[in-house]
Every structure is written in C-alpha cells, then in structure tokens.
Amino acid sequence: MKKLKSNEIKTITIDEFKKCKKTPLVIVLDNIRSALNVGSIFRTSDTFLVDKILICGITACPPHKDIRKSGLGADSSVEWEYYSSTVDAVNTLIKKNYTIVSVEQTSNSTTLDNVKLTGIPYALVFGNEVNGVSQEVINLCKRSVEIPQLGTKHSLNVSVAAGIVIWKYYELLKHQNR
C-alpha cells in the first residue's frame, strides 16, 4: 500500500460537480458563529454531493476568508442561499415537502444509529455552537436526531457533528435510491 499523491486521486471539476446528480439533502445552518465551521460544513457537503446549504441569521456567507480557508473552495461548488431567519428557511423547505430533521438532543430524539428513512428529500438543521438549534426551529421539525455520545461532554463541534450526520444520511439515501 502506498499513499496517493494529489495528482493520483480522481476528482471532478466544479462544472462537473454542478452537473452531478446530488444527494437529496439540504443543510440548514441556524446561526452558526464560526466561519471556520461553516467552511468545514461546505467541504463535507461537497464530499457527499449535498444539494444545497441554507445559511441563516448570523451565519457567515461566502465570500469569506475563513470559509474559504477551512472549506478549501467548496463554497464555489456547493449551491447555497441566505435567509435572515431560519424559521423562514425551514418553512420554505416544508412547502417543498422536505422532511425537516434537527440535529439536536431533544426529549424524543432518535439516536443516529437508529435512524430510518421514510422518504425524500431531507433537510438537516445544525445549530449554534453554544445554544444549538433554536426551540422555534425545533417546533417546525418532523424529528430530531442525536449522535450517541458516551463520554462526559455530550456535545460535539458543529462541523464534526455535521460530518458524522451528513455521512450517515448520505449512506442511508444511497441505499434507498438503488
């Protein structure tokens, strides 16, 4: 086994990315404070061909140097829209028949390892680094999922949580669409 060099790894161009069939998944960012986290979520979304990111409230928008730094330019490939209100963004998705899922610890959340899909498309809502997904937005969600956590902290960085949950939904949706 040998480590591959960058020029040995098959990648697609931004134009090819934009023409690809996307994963039927929208990411909603509910007032994320750190532009570095936003960039990391763009990068993960590019990796799994996420359809779109909805940037809401105080969340930084491209072009932003920290988004570009951690996202390695994924803000040029992944489609995004800005909404001043996360509630407005979620209501727009509800009208388009998305199943809205908050990634949050709630009184009736499902652990990620027990998630079952009941149709498509899906929208995953990720919340603020301190306060999480707002209750007002949770009230609009069809369900909540949480990542099982066994240690003392019971919280993950939002970009790490996004990576885990986006991958899981990508895997589930990939198998559903066969």
Give pLDDT tens digits for 123-172: 999 999 999 999 999 999 999 999 999 999 889 999 999 999 999 999 99
For residue range 27-71, what is the model confidence (pLDDT) as tens digits? 999 999 999 999 999 999 999 999 999 999 999 999 999 999 999
* Rounded Cα–Cα distance for residues 86 and 160 (Å): 21
106: which 2 tokens?
Answer: 């709630």
Domains, the chain: 19-176 (3.40.1280.10)
- pTM metric for this prediction: 0.96
* Rounded Cα–Cα distance for residues 77 and 30 (Å): 21
Lowest pLDDT segment from 7-11, 42-46, 109-113, 163-167: 7-11
Phi, psi dihedral angles at 18 (to 5 degrees):
-65, -25
Place of tokens 């040029």: 76
